Chain A
């Protein structure tokens, strides 16, 4: 049971990390928390399921399309709602925080309500990526679909981390994250980087939603808990730290499952909060957080 739950926790954690990675990238570059992150996940899940079920789009096309839908939403949100404000606020960090929290939280409620109006409150199960007999891993049966989903998630997770560290694209993002104005002086198009980061984050969350849609049938309000978990993870990993998001995600997945066995299954979703409190007490900058230069 223990080893099964560890394996299962790591699998769940991978998907948490996929969501948290985008969130922490947004924070790194824009210094804001996207409170509509769970809805990117929801949109991804619905795009995948509806394209497949209602329009008959094959899976190989529906999955990328879901990612594109999430990325497009991220792009639009950044351009329409986020950009104008940090452009005009300049140095006044506080005003930007205020606006970002209000707008993204409102957006979250809006997207849930709009989706409920459009497709109804139903939940829809997504199709499997591949069918086949399950494999036995550490006492739990893992279906080929789950393995494929896990593989894709890991690929995107590690791929994004790799690109962040070694590509020009990633270097630009990290430059903006470290010092926005210095990056701008050095010729980095800060606005473009911000848009790209938001779109990437939207795409990653949407991918998580699509990949999990077979296990967790998406409904319009499906994003709330994955989002709350990614908030816990980014604090755990250190705000703005991509590696922290990965480790934090895996850690939360495992801790939740351990809590489910040893404490109580019913309160599984609450262990994240306990963890959050512990982090804030012991290591407020998170596992991989850096002290930031002030003033």
Chain B
């Protein structure tokens, strides 16, 4: 009997503990004094943490910068950062948590397509706007969710640029390597479609590769047997590094017969030259940012502050994140409100000069819905190992035409 009583005591103790845990829950007491912006980004693997860091750095910089100047509508900007790990479940639960627990009125920071896709339903359900930083997949736009806006890169744009370049290079045979992500698959589809329509003279083959693989030799040998003029790769790091290195080691690309074109956005990773040595020399790259871009004043200022604070040049993701946050702040000012519905309405009418150009959102349903259609991009070439982006040969200015005059054979 004695022991039974003690057990009950123990039970009571356990329940009390459980309740205490819930009572102390770090719940974001929603304050009217701040403009709470949810940041869902990759802080831990399996997603690409490098991307998450670049996004977070830019967002924190701008939040502090704007708060120095008094914030927005008299409120301080408060970033509520949460880790989506770049996974689908992560994206969905983080979005749900930011909205229901932290009561944020808008979400940004998402660095991968699957996370944005996972948050579409949540955004629609709660009517909270999402300003997507780096979700390329067409599905994000074609879903037609009115709350989701994309001032960043998108599939069609990348492929248009790539195909432009391939045509200008006068290629006859192209080999494409894509990774097994949603972005990879939709880029591959778009690529074969555009090549068929716009350049039927180009022979095209492609392969989808496992991003987790560590050895691509069978594929490299296949490419070698094909002898293409250009190898196009969309693989992101580190898979992309391994593929590039193996192509180089096997003498496939970049060589004087075969160019290498990188369109996965790897080149502005801080660890690019730590992983790519000789393989980088002569490579062509597509980028959403280049230090030689003619930036608007706010972009120049952002870049200056970024270098001051973090001692490194901002990458394209930092610019994309910066524009996402600026667009949100602009919408809040115009709406004169930080409420979700008002923000959504104002965001749709965005016409704002961001860090890289004039941002507007397209209204046509389809692959460019709520997308900044004219998002700028660059085509450039590395001409030496360890070359800084500044020193690369810029072949296309942010809004200028493609000019391959400066190109050199590897």
Binding site for B on A (CB under 8 A): 1, 4-5, 8, 12, 53, 116, 120-125, 134, 139-141, 143, 146, 215-217, 219-222, 225, 257, 260-261, 265-266, 268-269
Contact = CB atoms under 8 A, between A and B. Distances in A.
Given A120-B49, A216-B242, A266 B180 contact: yes
Contact of B45 (A1, A121, A146): A121
B214 A123 contact: no
Interface in B204-218: 207-210, 212-215, 217-218
Given A121-B45, A125-B275, A261 B50 contact: no
Contacts of B157: none
Contacts of A141: 249-251
Most buried by A among B207, B208, B249: B249
B227 interface: no
B250 A140 contact: yes
Contact of B49 (A1, A121, A217): A121
A269 B276 CA distance: 25
A265 B213 CA distance: 10
B44 interface: yes
Nearest 8 pairs between A and B by C-beta?
A: A123-B238, A125-B275, A121-B49, A260-B218, A216-B214, A122-B271, A217-B275, A141-B250
A220 B50 CA distance: 14
A124 B275 contact: yes
Given A53-B274, A123-B238, A124-B271, A222 B45 contact: no
B221 A5 contact: yes
B245 interface: yes
Contacts, number: 89
Interface in B246-271: 246, 249-251, 270-271
Given A8-B217, A53-B274, A116-B45, A266 B210 contact: yes
Nearest to A214: B245
Q: Identify which of A217, A257, A260, A269 gathers the most chain B CB atoms within 10 Å of its CB.
A: A217
Size class of the B contact interface (CB-based, 8 Å): 35 or more
A224 to B, nearest CB: 9
A219 B276 CA distance: 15
Given A116-B45, A215-B215, A222-B214, A265 B50 contact: no
Contacts of A12: 215
B275 to A, nearest CB: 4
22 contacts: A5-B221, A8-B218, A12-B215, A121-B45, A121-B49, A122-B274, A125-B276, A134-B250, A141-B250, A141-B251, A143-B249, A215-B245, A216-B242, A220-B45, A221-B45, A221-B46, A225-B214, A257-B218, A260-B218, A265-B207, A265-B218, A268-B213
Contacts of B277: 125
B74 to A, nearest CB: 38
Nearest to A219: B238
Contacts of B275: 123-125, 217
A5 B221 CA distance: 9
Interface string B17-57: 00000000000000000000000000011101110000000
A140 B221 CA distance: 8
Contact of A5 (B214, B218, B241, B271): B218
A46 B276 CA distance: 17
Contact of A266 (B208, B217, B222, B251): B208
Given A122-B271, A216-B215, 13 more contacts: A1-B225, A53-B274, A122-B50, A122-B274, A123-B241, A134-B249, A141-B251, A216-B214, A220-B45, A260-B218, A265-B209, A266-B180, A266-B208
Interface in B184-210: 207-210
Contacts of B245: 125, 215
A29 B10 CA distance: 45
A139 B220 CA distance: 12
